[in-house]
Homo-oligomer: A and B are copies of this chain.
């Protein structure tokens, strides 16, 4: 699989898992199927849309290629019919969100670098692409934000983005750098969910 195909596949996968997490959040609020699709789509393409607006690309990705919208619609409808089969919707939401986080922190960084953004901007763009889908979903639905949960989240996005930048500067092919940095971000977030990994929180009491 060449690099462009790899990126495209990962990108569609990231959109799909974030759309599933958006539809599952809609399920918590007892919505109808079309509102499922609306929130699945906003969550699925939200982070990448903000990335493209900030990078001032010619067109937002899902206007150029409508496959992204169909993936969101398909994933949301599938969630409507299949979600009740899972033991815990909350767990599925967290894991779909974790996969989206890992994919988008790296893909956001990669896209920013390909638009010649400076390294600190590229890493920031990766972290934002990964966080914003999640933040928009939880903010619009007025639910406790996954990103503000106790376990490591933003750090995993930073790890993925920074790993990709590092590997891009080494004599490693991008086809290898992509999956390795995605895996790094995912494993850190997965470890955080499974073993309750946390960074120290701000603890000082209000005097």
Q: Which residue of B lies closest to A158 (CB)?
A: B34
A144–B203 alpha-carbon span in the complex (Å):
21
A127 touches B38 (CB 8 A): yes
* A30-56 interface (Cβ within 8 A of B): 30-38, 41-42, 49, 53-56
Which residue of B62, B83, B140, B201 is within 8 Å of A135 (Cβ)? B140
In the complex, which of the residues B34, B53, B131, B202 contacts A154, with contact meaning CB atoms closer than 8 Å? B34
The number of chain A residues with a CB under 8 A from chain B is 65
Report yes or no: A201 in contact with B30, Cβ–Cβ below 8 A: yes
B199 touches A32 (CB 8 A): yes
Contact partner of A117 among B35, B37, B63, B87, CB < 8 A?
A: B63
Which one of B26, B124, B140 lies within 8 Å of A69 (CB-CB)?
B124
In the complex, which residues of chain B have a beta carbon less than 8 angstroms from the beta carbon of A34?
154-155, 158, 199
CA distance A139 to B135 in the complex (A): 10
Of A11-19, A145-153, A165-173, A178-186, the one touching chain B: A145-153
Decide yes or no whether A60 CB sits under 8 A from chain B.
yes
The count of identical subunits is 3
Closest to A72 in B: B124
Closest B residue to A141 by CB, please name it: B148
9 closest A-B pairs by beta carbon, nearest first, are: A84-B204, A32-B199, A34-B154, A30-B201, A27-B202, A35-B154, A34-B155, A66-B120, A38-B154
User: What are some 18 contacts across the A-B interface (CB < 8 A)?
Assistant: A27-B202, A30-B202, A31-B201, A32-B198, A32-B200, A32-B201, A32-B202, A33-B202, A34-B158, A42-B128, A54-B60, A56-B59, A66-B118, A69-B120, A83-B202, A87-B207, A139-B140, A139-B142
- Extra pairs beyond A84-B207, A90-B206, A142-B142 (17, CB < 8 Å): A26-B202, A27-B204, A32-B198, A32-B202, A34-B199, A36-B202, A41-B124, A49-B54, A53-B54, A54-B63, A55-B63, A56-B60, A63-B117, A63-B118, A84-B204, A140-B145, A142-B144
